[in-house]
């Protein structure tokens, strides 16, 4: 009897709901963090070694308030989602409450992100 495997894109097919959205955003935010850190290291290297205009342009983008909002969103979401995953992995009995855990994660994330955003805007208005 031959072993049959269905190979395809079924694993990444959107199934709906909060946990699937959190899964997708966790993968995307992890990739974004790796790209950000890599570009930051390259820009720092080129700025120190060559004093290049490309590094200056990249640093200008990094200093943009909009980019900082995006980085804070990505890092905070990735960290809180990672904590949720760790808690669920350490307590397998809680896996049946995965959907509720995702809602709790968003209930913590949204006010925390709003508070940090307000503080950043207030600092920007005071300095500018």
Q: Name all domains of the chain by residue range, CATH numbers in brackets.
A: 19-127 (1.20.1300.10)
Say what percent of the chain tops pLDDT 90.
Answer: 44
| Global pTM exceeds 0.85 | no
Residues 6+ apart with CB under 8 A from 97: none
Please state, in angstroms and rounded to a whole number, the distance separating the CA atoms of residues 38 and 124: 27
Overall average pLDDT of the 95-107 stretch: 90
Assess contact for 49 and 91: CB atoms under 8 A: no
How sure is the predictor about 3, in pLDDT bands with cuts at 50, 70 and 90? Answer: low
**Residue 105 scores a pLDDT above 80:** yes
pLDDT in tens, 10-40: 656 666 667 778 888 999 999 999 999 988 8
Tokens 């669920």 sit on residue: 88
Residue 22's pLDDT is: 84
pLDDT in tens, 42-99: 888 888 887 777 778 888 888 889 999 999 999 999 999 999 999 999 988 988 888 8
Overall average pLDDT of the 111-124 stretch: 95
């Amino acid at each position: 009897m031959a072993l049959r495997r269905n190979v395809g894109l079924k694993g990444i097919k959107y199934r709906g709901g909060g946990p699937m959205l959190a899964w997708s955003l966790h993968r995307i935010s992890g990739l974004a963090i790796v790209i950000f850190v890599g570009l930051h290291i390259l820009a720092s290297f080129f700025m120190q070694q060559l004093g290049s205009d490309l590094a200056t342009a990249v640093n200008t983008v990094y200093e943009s308030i909009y980019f900082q909002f995006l980085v804070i969103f990505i890092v905070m979401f990735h960290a809180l989602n990672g904590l949720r995953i760790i808690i669920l992995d350490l307590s397998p009995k809680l896996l049946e409450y995965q959907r509720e855990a995702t809602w709790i994660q968003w209930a913590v994330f949204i006010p925390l992100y709003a508070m940090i955003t307000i503080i950043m805007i207030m600092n920007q208005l005071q300095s500018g």
